[in-house]
Amino acid sequence: MTGPVGAAPPPDGFGLPGGQPAGARWGSPAPPPVYLRVAFHNVTSIDVHICLSGSEIIQVVPVDGLISVSRNDQEDYVLYNPTPAAQSIPMLPRYVAILFPYDAHRPGFSHPSTTFVQKIIIKVPLRLLT
Amino acid sequence: MSIIGDLDNLAQVYEQLPHPAWRTVFTWLTQIPLSDQNNTFINPNLPTIKAYLKTIPTTKSSSDKYESHMRHIWKSHYEMPQI
C-alpha cells in the first residue's frame, strides 16, 4: 500500500483536552477540564472519506472507553469527549479512509500544506455489509 | 480499526473489505461527476447510500474554536449534526 498509513504529527495548536489545565498548581483546586464535543461515532453507518484535492487531518480513536455527551438517532451519530490517544490520519489527494462505527473521528484539521479539502464522504448503511 | 488506502490501489482496500457490496459502492463512486461541485448524490441501485461532494475549509484550531468551525461547516454543507 502506498497510502497514508501511520500517524502524522498533530497540527499546530492541536491539543486534545483532558490533561492538567495550564496554570494549575499543587494545593489549588484544578478547574474542570474542557472537552471538545466533536468526536463522531456513526451508529448505523460506515463513513468513507475520499480526498480529491487539498488536504486535511482526521483524528480517529476507538469508541471503547470514550464518554458520550449526546446522541442523535435521527442523524445517526453520538458525540464523545475525545481522549489524547487519538491517531492523526493525514488525508492527501486520492487517499481513502473507511471509518467504522467503532471509530470515533474528528475531521477537518489543517494539514500543513493547505487550508481546504475537497472530499467525498459516503455514508454506507452498516446493514448492507453484514 | 479504520482502513486507510488510496484510490490507485483499491485491490488492497478490497482485501480488507470482503463483502461484495463494497465493489458496488466503489464502482458507483467512479461514476460521480467530480466537476460537479458541492452536491449530494444518491446511489440509484442502493438508494440508502448517499455521497456528499464538498469543499470545506480546514482549521488549526483546538478547543472551542474547532467546535465552532465544525458547527459552521455542518450547518452550511451537510444535513448533519446539530450540536
pLDDT at position A7 over 80: no
Give me the total of CB pairs closer than 8 Å, taking one residue from chain A and one from chain B. Answer: 160
Q: How confident is the model at residue A17 (pLDDT cuts 50, 70, 90)?
A: very low
CA distance linking residue A106 with residue A59, whole number of Å: 5
Interchain CB distance below 8 Å, A95 and B53 = no
Q: What does the pLDDT read at residue A15?
A: 27
Give residue-wise pLDDT tens across range A108-128.
888 888 889 999 988 888 888
Give the closest-approach CA distance of A69 to chain B in angstroms.
Answer: 10
B69 vs A contacts (CB less than 8 Å):
108
Tell which wins on pLDDT, A76 or A106. A106
Give residue-wise pLDDT tens across range A34-86.
444 556 777 788 889 999 999 999 988 888 888 887 777 776 777 777 677 77
Interchain CB distance below 8 Å, B58 and A56 = yes
Phi, psi of B75 (to 5 degrees): -65, -35
The CA distances from residue B42 to A106, A123, A130, B25, in Å, are: 24, 10, 21, 11
Instruction: Give the distance from CA A16 to its chain's centroid.
Output: 11
Q: What does the pLDDT read at residue A73?
A: 76
The CATH code of the domain at A39-129 is 2.60.120.370
Interchain CB distance below 8 Å, A36 and B66 = yes
Give the closest-approach CA distance of A31 to chain B in angstroms.
Answer: 15
Mutate which of B36, B49, B58, B83 to disrupt the A interface (most A C-beta within 10 Å)?
Answer: B58
CA distance linking residue A90 with residue B66, whole number of Å: 17
ipTM for the assembly: 0.79
Residue pointed to by grid coordinates 450547518: B75
pTM of the model: 0.73
Give the closest-approach CA distance of B8 to chain A in angstroms.
Answer: 7
Give the closest-approach CA distance of A36 to chain B in angstroms.
Answer: 6
Interchain CB distance below 8 Å, B59 and A110 = yes
CA distance linking residue B40 with residue B60, whole number of Å: 27
Q: What does the pLDDT read at residue B72?
A: 66
CA distance linking residue B21 with residue B30, whole number of Å: 15
List chain B pLDDT tens, one digit each, 83 residues: 688 888 888 788 888 887 888 888 888 887 787 777 778 888 888 888 888 888 888 887 665 566 666 666 666 555 443 33
**Do A88 and A8 meet the contact criterion of CB atoms below 8 Å apart?**
yes
Interchain CB distance below 8 Å, B55 and A118 = yes
Q: Cell triple for residue B47? A: 438508494
Q: What does the pLDDT read at residue A116?
A: 92
Mutate which of A50, A79, A94 to disrupt the B interface (most B C-beta within 10 Å)?
Answer: A50
